[in-house]
């Protein structure tokens, strides 16, 4: 009876007003309820539904659940990248992240483009033990020479000023489209990657394969989480007045291409912060069915390939083995 009542809890959470008001962070609670409902016997000694409700922000998958996907396929041709004067380069950069989190990928796109070496700490979405030292309990968190930076857009603003002290972040067009990414594009992606049960499973297969999960968490999250997010995606469609999720995705892609006005990038001959934001958010879905469909049915593919070439290989510092 406990297992059935917990499954009902997942459904209630998926349909609650809070899930639609803040879908990214509400997924934390859905993930916990899903784990509880599918694995009560092994987790009951430390986990209960009351804890799901009371401690949702501690035991989350956060933005990870919105976007899951494979890394970008790099092409041989690489555009000239913007290099930073060594005197402005930070000495020690550490990114606390979920591998599939779109906002973490925004930050990584910036770091990769500017060839800023960084280390990665993959955060366990259940215990979050890796960021217990911080008062900020979400990702990304970026430590730059000992200073903590949070919130992807704010991180990028601060890093831009650090590496280019004379730059003024006052370009109206650039800021408009950076806002469009955070306030519009991200809301379209979730209903697309969880559009069907097969696509939801595809997404969670990547999340659980690349995230910092225990073996038990990996198994339960893949199936229970996929089911929960499938139902959430239907509610998000209604919240954002999306009739056809693929049509909305294609429209967003075409809107972005139109914004380029024939330029290689929104920034002209080289990407600006808006280009990096769109690319960073789309990169996690590129190799999912939704991302493949988007490239096949819209004009965004050429721009995306140019961005792959411009950003180039990752500047992430490989973790030491052993």
What is the Cα–Cα distance from 322 to 310, expressed in whole angstroms? 33
Residue whose C-alpha is closest to residue 97's, from 244, 295, 316: 316
Q: Spot the catalytic one: 31, 49, 96, 104.
A: 104
Q: 3-class DSSP state for residue 150?
A: strand
Q: Spot the catalytic one: 47, 67, 96, 101.
A: 101
- Tell me whether residue 11 is one of the annotated catalytic residues: no
Q: Spot the catalytic one: 47, 96, 98, 206.
A: 98
Residue 144, phi then psi, degrees to nearest 5: -120, 105
Q: Spot the catalytic one: 49, 103, 250, 304.
A: 103
What is the Cα–Cα distance from 200 to 181, expressed in whole angstroms? 22
What is the Cα–Cα distance from 84 to 60, expressed in whole angstroms? 36
Residue whose C-alpha is closest to residue 226's, from 70, 97, 68: 68
- Tell me whether residue 101 is one of the annotated catalytic residues: yes
Query: Mind giving me the DSSP string for 243-271?
Result: S-HHHHHHHHHHHHHHHHTT-SBTTBSS-
Active site residues: 98, 101, 103-104
């Amino acid at each position: 009876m406990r297992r059935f009542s917990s499954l009902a809890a997942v459904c209630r959470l998926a349909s609650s007003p809070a899930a639609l008001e803040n879908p990214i962070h509400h997924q934390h609670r859905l993930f916990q309820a899903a784990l509880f409902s599918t694995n009560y016997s092994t987790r009951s000694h430390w986990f209960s539904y009351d804890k799901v409700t009371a401690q949702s922000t501690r035991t989350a998958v956060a933005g990870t659940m919105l976007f899951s996907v494979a890394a970008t396929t790099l092409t041989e041709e690489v555009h000239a990248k913007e290099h930073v004067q060594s005197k402005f380069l930070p000495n020690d950069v550490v990114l606390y992240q979920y591998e599939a989190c779109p906002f973490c990928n925004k930050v990584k796109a910036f770091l990769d483009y500017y060839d800023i070496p960084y280390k990665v700490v993959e955060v366990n979405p259940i215990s979050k033990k890796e960021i217990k030292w911080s008062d900020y309990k979400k990702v990304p968190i970026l430590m730059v020479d000992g200073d903590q930076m949070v919130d992807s857009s704010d991180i990028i603003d601060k890093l831009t000023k650090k590496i280019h002290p004379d730059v003024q972040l006052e370009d109206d067009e650039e800021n408009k489209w950076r806002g469009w990414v955070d306030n519009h594009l991200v809301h379209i992606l979730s209903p697309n990657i969880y559009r069907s049960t097969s696509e939801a499973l595809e997404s969670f297969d990547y999340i659980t394969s690349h995230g910092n999960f225990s073996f038990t968490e990996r198994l339960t999250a893949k199936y229970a989480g996929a089911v929960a997010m499938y139902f959430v995606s239907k509610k998000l469609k209604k919240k954002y007045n999306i009739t056809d999720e693929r049509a909305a995705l294609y429209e967003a892609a075409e809107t972005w291409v139109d914004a380029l006005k024939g330029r290689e990038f929104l920034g002209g001959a080289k990407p600006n912060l808006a280009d990096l934001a769109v690319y960073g958010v789309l990169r996690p879905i590129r190799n999912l069915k939704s991302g493949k469909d988007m490239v096949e049915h819209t004009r965004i593919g050429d721009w995306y390939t140019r961005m792959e070439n411009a950003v180039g290989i990752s500047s992430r510092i490989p973790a030491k083995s052993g």
